[in-house]
A and B are shown apart, each in its own frame.
Chain A
Amino acid sequence: MTMRVEHHPVLGSLERKQPFTFYFNGEAYEAFEGDSIASAMLAAGVRTLRQHEMSGTSRGIYCNIGHCFECRVQLEDSKVVRACLTLVKEGMDIHSVAGYKKGGE
């Protein structure tokens, strides 16, 4: 079932352009222009963006507007960004921030 709100009774229908591909932890996903990394991952059904550095517990978005930093992810140039504030681009190669503890989804 799609997570996209294609039709909305008040906001209207989305005019979708062609989707493009980006990568998260090596897997390919689809996104549309205007998606943040967070919205594209959520639309793809991926909730876990990183593991806590010490405990290894799974974490995803919490505040979605840049306050909590829970959704931080790493880009190819090792730059760490907030998934909720960063627009996803075609071919973007995104990784979970490396923690001390390996394992987990």
Chain B
Amino acid sequence: MRDLLIVGAGPAGLSAAIEAAEQGLNVHVIDEFPRVGGRLLGQLHQEPNGEWWNGISESDKLYSRALTAGVDIQCETSVYDIEKREAGWHVHTSNGILKSKALLLATGASETPIPITGWTLPGVISIGAAQVMGNVYRVKPGQSCVIIGANVLSMAIANELRLCGVDVKEIIIPKSSLISKEAGHPISVLKSLMKLTHLAPNAMLRQLGKVGRFFPPALAAKCYPAVGIKMFGIPIKVKTAALEILGDKQVTGVRTTKVTASGTPIPGTEKTVEADVVCISGGLMPMAELASIVGCSFQYVTELGGHIPVHSEQMQTNIPHLYVAGNITGIESAKVAMAQGKVAGLTIAAEINNRSGKLDDLIDQAIHSVRKTRAEALIQFQPNIPKTREELYKYYERNQA
């Protein structure tokens, strides 16, 4: 029996593994993907100081640190069930049953889809799929691309696809509907994009920020040019909506319409844009399924992306010896996930080795580092994250007491 089994070899899982192993625990990390790194792998963006954040080299660093610390890492291993036994956890995987005293779920996030007519055609993929294809496998998902969904994720990946040599024709929004909700509403889209204006390298967003300081989003949406504003040469058209994805055996394009500031289609403005790949960007939500089958309590927190397993700031859940870290606790950056992983690794080491108290200072420092990383985050996926986090931790305390 291992001391600690970690599900997910992304930024949170690997950081936790390194920390726990350095504290003397026997740690095993598993992941479904053939390579370690999780969502880090696809990431590639320029920081305000001009340096590139290269997710592949970040994950290589974590991987080699984990190996040095003596962590066992096993890829291509899927979990299909988890049982809690008297002696510890029995995790049923595609490579047999793995047993451990402590279990950390660092399963990250999945993408929220936006069903659109024609989205099952080959060549229609999620925005994250395009990112992994281009940056990790170094295969262009297509020669010319339309992205549906204007948000922080799609803007970052549009630029990554451009760097891979894909002609990103435009970023548009889904048609306003019960499914697309705010994503299909130009005013709401602009409102959320304006929050990103501190992203210094991003000229388009800076422009929006200037506009946003003087005008409320409704007015900005009204004045927003129908041809879009360009970012790295890619038009962001928040007043063009996808009506339907076209193609017979595979995707050939998107039928679009111009829409008003509130998302109502303008008759007579329908148009066909040709593309051999269409990416859907609906945002991310925490991957809660394993936490759910082991019986965690949940809170629905819009700002954090969905149902969150209730947890403490030390990364404990309401189930003894079950911990969470990274995007399963809410959608934030990979840097926050790494910082959280460190907290989880230390907390687990303290509990498994019965060293409670001895590691308190280190845990406090690690928690402080999470808060600092969060405050300095380049991309705030949603506003009010620190406040909603605080409320979640209080909820945990109340329910443990």
Contact = CB atoms under 8 A, between A and B. Distances in A.
B141 interface: yes
A11 B163 CA distance: 9
A4 B138 contact: yes
A78 to B, nearest CB: 16
Contact of B133 (A9, A14, A39, A66): A39
Contacts, number: 101
B139 A3 contact: yes
A47 to B, nearest CB: 4
B132 A65 contact: yes
Contacts of B121: 58
Interface stretch (B123-131, B290-298, B372-380): B123-131
Interface in B83-137: 110-111, 120-126, 128-130, 132-135, 137
Interface string B318-353: 000000000000000000000000000000000000
B74 interface: no
Contacts of B32: 65-66, 85
A101 to B, nearest CB: 14
B139 A57 contact: no
A66 B135 CA distance: 17
Nearest to B164: A5
B111 A8 contact: no
Given A62-B125, A63-B126, A5 B249 contact: no
Contacts of A8: 138, 163-164
B44 A63 contact: no
Contact of B122 (A10, A36, A58): A58
A48 B110 CA distance: 23
A52 B250 CA distance: 14
A64 B41 CA distance: 13
Contacts of B120: 52, 57, 59
Contacts of B111: 63, 67
A86 B75 CA distance: 11
Contacts of A5: 134, 138-140, 164-165
A59 B129 contact: no
Contacts of A48: 122, 249-250
B250 A60 contact: yes
Given A62-B125, A62-B129, A65-B132, A43 B139 contact: yes
A87 B34 contact: yes
A5 B137 CA distance: 9
B41 to A, nearest CB: 9
Interface of B: 32-34, 44, 52, 54, 56, 76, 78, 110-111, 120-126, 128-130, 132-135, 137-141, 143, 163-165, 249-250
The 9 closest A-B pairs by CB, nearest first: A60-B122, A64-B129, A39-B137, A47-B122, A5-B138, A43-B139, A47-B250, A48-B122, A5-B164
14 contacts: A5-B134, A10-B52, A10-B163, A11-B56, A11-B135, A38-B137, A47-B123, A58-B121, A60-B125, A62-B124, A62-B125, A64-B132, A66-B33, A85-B76
